Structure 1
Amino acid sequence: MPRTILIGFGVDVDAVAGWLGSYGGEDSPLDISRGMYAGEVGVPRLLKLFKRYGITTSWFIPGHSLETFPKEMAAVRDAGHEIGLHGYSHENPTTMSLEQQRDILDHTYKILTDFNFGKPPKGSVAPWWETSKEGTALLLDKGIEYDHSNMSHDSQAHYLRDEDYWTKIDYSAKAEAWMKPLTKGKETGLVEIPANWYLDDLPPMMFIKSSSNSHGWVNTRDVEQLWKDTFTYLYREEENFIFPITIHPDVSGRPHVLLMLERFIEWINTHADVKWATLYEMSEEFRSRVDAPAGALMPKGFVKKTANRA
């Protein structure tokens, strides 16, 4: 029986939004100009790369990027790539009220749906991969079918739990007050496509002035080898697996990184049983094999697809 190995790129169009919400450049004209580079230069270069290799990818677009770069985002849509949620200004969900989170989700869901000719987004990536305690419930209530913000696995899709609970250390209290294990939360029908800092172009290859441990000058061949080693291990040890990679036009739109991506894609294509897929396709393949746990809270309006029978 053939193996099922799905690999794909999730493209986070952070651009100006990233500097507004996460990178500490909201007061810097220089940093904002780097965001403009991502939208106006990096995006077209990535589209050209994907077209050359015939790869359909998943683009997670902050509302700010959609409205700041309408021409470039239309080119993404018109090339047939998946469109998903990524906040509005790359804001941190853990610092916002429930009302703010809901307002942002409602607004970005609507503008992405309208932009995509009435086709709503199926997936979401939390900005900076930070999710709030209300985040999963909000996504389910919106009918979102998969998330890509959790790191409890690295190569297998799974159903996400909600409301795991853990006790923080309180050195002012007796130890017995906080020596407690994590309590697992409720099962849901939200598919998790694992996120992974080690399969992300940004931490090693983007310089951020406000970050004390920022990199940016890491040799692309070191990153390339890390990705290859990760894939090689999984290809040897796991019969079936997924390999979602996160990239950004801010980083992967740079010439030296584009050359790395070309080498990596061509290397991947030498392996048997490997298929390039969107993250939504990864989630659907998982759902086709694994039912959600009994009693799990499902995405609003979700109806499982059934196989066509002759």
Structure 2
Amino acid sequence: MKIDQEEMQPWQWPEQEWRRRVNRVRAGRRLRPKSWRDGARFAVALAFDSDHETNELRDGAKSVNRLAWGQYGHRVGVPRALSMLERNGVTASFYVPAVTALLYPDEQREIVKAGHEIGVHGWIHELNSGLRLEDERDLIRRSIDTLETVTGVRPTGYRSPSGDFSQNTLQLLRELGFAYDSSMAADDDCYELTMDGEPTGLVELPFDWVRDDAVYFLMHRFQGLRPYTSPSDVFDIFKRELEGAHAEGGLFELTMHPHVITNRSRLWIIEEIIKYAKALPGGVWFARHDEVVQFALQNSAAND
């Protein structure tokens, strides 16, 4: 009797099956320019995932306390982040679930007005790997339309909620006209995504959990998730990642969350990172994710 491969254990898969799964979404050609805009030695791309209440809404909205924590991201986090960015003269990218945009439309308009990018971050911070193809397509499409309606700008970038990329996500991003994704971590620099062994023309601007504030600070009172790292230690980790990008002439991408990083004891981390990057020799280019992607695609050494 033939066994359906979906019912098999991974150790039972024939070689063709595990190769198929590995090759569905892969890193293709690396897109690192010889130098960055205006001859800068390296680039810094700051990102804020404006999850706000959607993490708890996705899980059933059972905890009013966690909904309040999400609201902190709107009431305190985003205003502090915007003020800090303006004070230091840098731009950033904000990845926004559609439900966040519907709850706080004026916040999104203020972000765009300040010169920052807004990208798609799901509908209600759903997990893509648990969705049927048609449901994932519908949620991404509605998210694009919602952000465009709220901000007047159609988003070109996508970041999957919780970095959860399904077997269908890349196919849908191509179908729906995205220029880039920022959900995966197959490299430190931008690269072209391939699907089933074929180049897609869609760029990945990788993030990594080591450069994400949530893994050091995010906690859940009723679960085993209670990490805590000293802000000075987190700064040291980010600083060393930054120094590595500078040494290689590459990209330093940093992902943060307004309800996590903007506490009074933590916000200084970002500001010190910005100041330190500006002081390094050779120059630094601070850019939105969409700007980095466009520059890397047009100026990559892989094009020579």
> What does residue range 81-96 of structure 1 map to in structure 2 within 5 Å?
81-96=116-131
Q: 2:53 corresponds to which residue?
A: 16
- Is 1:146–1:191's contact at 8 Å kept on the other side of the alignment? yes
> What does residue range 150-189 of structure 1 map to in structure 2 within 5 Å?
150-154=184-188, 156-163=189-196, 185-189=197-201
> What does residue range 117-196 of structure 1 map to in structure 2 within 5 Å?
117=152, 119-154=153-188, 156-163=189-196, 185-196=197-208
> What does residue range 1-310 of structure 1 map to in structure 2 within 5 Å?
2-21=39-58, 24=59, 26-117=61-152, 119-154=153-188, 156-163=189-196, 185-215=197-227, 217-236=228-247, 238=248, 240-272=249-281, 273-290=283-300
Give the direction of change, closer, same or farther, for the CA distance of 1:286–1:210 in structure 2 (3 Å limit): farther
Deviations 1:65-99 (A, max 9, x none): 10111222221121111110000110000001111
Name the CA distance, whole Å, in 1 between partners of 2:220 and 2:47.
Answer: 21
Deviations 1:119-166 (A, max 9, x none): 211100000001011100101111100100011012x11001224xxx
TM-score (norm 1): 0.81
Q: Runs of 5+ in structure 1 lacking a partner? A: 164-184, 294-310
Name the CA distance, whole Å, in 1 between partners of 2:222 and 2:118.
Answer: 30
Name the CA distance, whole Å, in 2 between partners of 1:202 and 1:12.
Answer: 10
Name the CA distance, whole Å, in 2 between partners of 1:113 and 1:233.
Answer: 36
Residue 103 of structure 2 aligns with an amino acid whose one-letter code is: T
Name the CA distance, whole Å, in 1 between partners of 2:60 and 2:267.
Answer: 25
Name the CA distance, whole Å, in 2 between partners of 1:211 and 1:278.
Answer: 35
- Is 1:61–1:86's contact at 8 Å kept on the other side of the alignment? yes
Residue 162 of structure 1 aligns with an amino acid whose one-letter code is: M
Name the CA distance, whole Å, in 2 between partners of 1:192 and 1:17.
Answer: 25
User: The residue matched to 1:10 in structure 2 has which SS?
Assistant: strand
Kindly state the Cα deviation for residue 108 of structure 1 after the two structures are TM-superposed: 0.8
TM-score (norm 2): 0.83
Question: Larger relative contact order (C-alpha < 8 A, sep ≥ 6)?
Answer: 2
Name the CA distance, whole Å, in 2 between partners of 1:250 and 1:188.
Answer: 35
Deviations 1:152-200 (A, max 9, x none): 012x11001224xxxxxxxxxxxxxxxxxxxxx3321110001100111
- Is 1:56–1:80's contact at 8 Å kept on the other side of the alignment? yes
Q: Runs of 5+ in structure 2 lacking a partner? A: 1-34
Kindly state the Cα deviation for residue 4 of structure 1 after the two structures are TM-superposed: 4.2
User: The residue matched to 2:83 in structure 1 has which SS?
Assistant: helix
Name the CA distance, whole Å, in 1 between partners of 2:242 and 2:141.
Answer: 37
Task: State the identity as a percent.
Answer: 28
Kindly state the Cα deviation for residue 19 of structure 1 after the two structures are TM-superposed: 2.0
Kindly state the Cα deviation for residue 41 of structure 1 after the two structures are TM-superposed: 1.4
User: The residue matched to 1:14 in structure 2 has which SS?
Assistant: coil
| Structure with greater helix percent | 2
- Is 2:193–2:202's contact at 8 Å kept on the other side of the alignment? yes
Deviations 1:6-53 (A, max 9, x none): 1021110011012223xx572111111111111121111111111101
Residue 19 of structure 1 aligns with an amino acid whose one-letter code is: E
Once superposed, what is the RMSD of the aligned Cα atoms?
1.8
Greater CA drift, 250-259 or 144-153: 250-259
Name the CA distance, whole Å, in 1 between partners of 2:115 and 2:204.
Answer: 23
